[in-house]
């Protein structure tokens, strides 16, 4: 006998369908869900797009010279100019997948990732994050999350090999279920050359979408290209 699905179960299935619809455009793969909720995709021999944490044997390992921007130098609500961290090789802007215009600011609260300052968009709902690396990098990892318990969040990180964002070369995803406590997932992408990364999210509450691109970002770590 079939059981009636709960709203939370329907939402979870919806996210799974979105996940596989996205993957179908880039690769034929096997899905492995990591303990932190991020997704690892294996068997990528037929694709030039690296998905998840298992990305390619020819991708350079994270360098010991990796740079981390933790945003702890920001004050609460402080506006972040795009070139604030340009001397470190990072430019921060609003991404093309935004549903509204906005700016990047320091989080008003300490958290949600490690209990210190993070960055968010203003307004909180709508704008996406775009991280540019003018000199190119080989890997990018970051923490992304939300305060809870509240809506569920599907967080997507896309890496591009060009400034025009025309060539997608990497994807990683993380999921925070509805009702989960305040927290973040660690997401990462690797490729021979990454020039930009966009971070977006889809948020749902009781099965309905309310809050696109409403997350915090922290601890951006990247390895400069040699």
CATH topology of domain 7-224: Jelly Rolls (2.60.120)
Query: Quick one: pLDDT at residue 65?
Result: 85
DSSP letter, residue 87 = G
Q: Return the SS3 of 215.
A: coil
pLDDT, residue 112, reads 92
Predicted local confidence at residue 178, as pLDDT: 78
State how far the Cα of 111 lies from the Cα of 175, in Å rounded to an integer: 18
Predicted confidence band of residue 86 (pLDDT cuts 50, 70, 90): very high
| 70 within 8 A of 219, measured Cβ to Cβ | yes
Cα distance between residue 106 and residue 148, in whole Å: 19
pTM of structure: 0.75
The pLDDT assigned to 64 comes to 64
Q: What does the pLDDT read at residue 145?
A: 93
Residue ranges of domains in the chain: 7-224
Nearest to 168 by CA among 97, 69, 226, 216: 97
According to DSSP, the residues that pair with 157 across neighbouring strands are 172, 199
- pLDDT greater at residue 60 or residue 104: 104
Whole-Å CA distances, 64 to 18, 102, 139, 141, 174: 36, 35, 12, 14, 26
Distance in angstroms (rounded) separating the CA atoms of residues 99 and 9: 27
For a pLDDT cut of 90, what percent of the chain falls above it? 58
pLDDT of residue 138: 97
* Mean pLDDT confidence for 104-130: 95
Report the alpha-carbon distance of residue 27 to residue 214 in Å, rounded: 28
Q: Is the pLDDT of residue 49 over 50?
A: no
Tokens 């540019």 map to which residue? 132
Q: Cα 26 to chain center, whole Å?
A: 18
pLDDT, the chain, mean? 79
pLDDT digits (tens, 9 = 90+) for 4-48: 434 444 444 444 445 444 444 443 333 333 444 444 333 332 234
pLDDT at 226 over 60: yes
Q: Residue 121 pLDDT > 80, yes or no?
A: yes
Quick one: how far is CA 158 from the chain centroid? 7
Helical residues (DSSP H) of the chain, grouped into ranges: 7-23
Between 129 and 30, residue with greater pLDDT: 129
Q: If you ran DSSP here, which 8-state letter would residue 78 be given?
A: -
């Amino acid at each position: 006998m079939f059981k009636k699905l709960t709203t939370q179960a329907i939402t979870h299935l919806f996210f799974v369908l979105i996940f596989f619809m996205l993957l179908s455009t880039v690769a034929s793969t096997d899905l492995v869900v990591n303990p932190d909720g991020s997704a690892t995709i294996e068997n990528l021999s037929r694709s030039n797009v690296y998905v998840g944490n298992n990305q390619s044997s020819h991708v350079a390992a994270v360098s010991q010279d990796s740079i981390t921007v933790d945003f702890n130098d920001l004050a609460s609500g402080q506006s972040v100019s795009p070139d604030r961290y340009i001397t470190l090789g990072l430019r921060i802007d609003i991404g093309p997948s935004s549903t509204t215009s906005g700016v990047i600011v320091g989080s008003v609260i300490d958290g949600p990732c490690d209990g210190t300052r993070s960055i968010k968009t203003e307004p909180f709902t709508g704008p996406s994050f775009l991280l540019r690396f003018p000199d190119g990098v080989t890997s990018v990892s970051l923490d992304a999350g939300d305060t809870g318990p509240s809506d569920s969040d599907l967080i997507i990180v896309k890496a591009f090999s060009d400034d025009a964002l025309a060539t997608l070369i990497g994807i990683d995803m993380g999921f925070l279920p509805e009702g989960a406590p305040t927290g973040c997932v660690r997401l990462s992408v690797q490729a021979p050359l990454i020039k930009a990364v966009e971070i977006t999210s889809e948020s749902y509450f009781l099965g309905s979408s309310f809050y696109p691109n409403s997350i915090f970002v922290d601890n951006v770590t990247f390895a400069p290209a040699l």
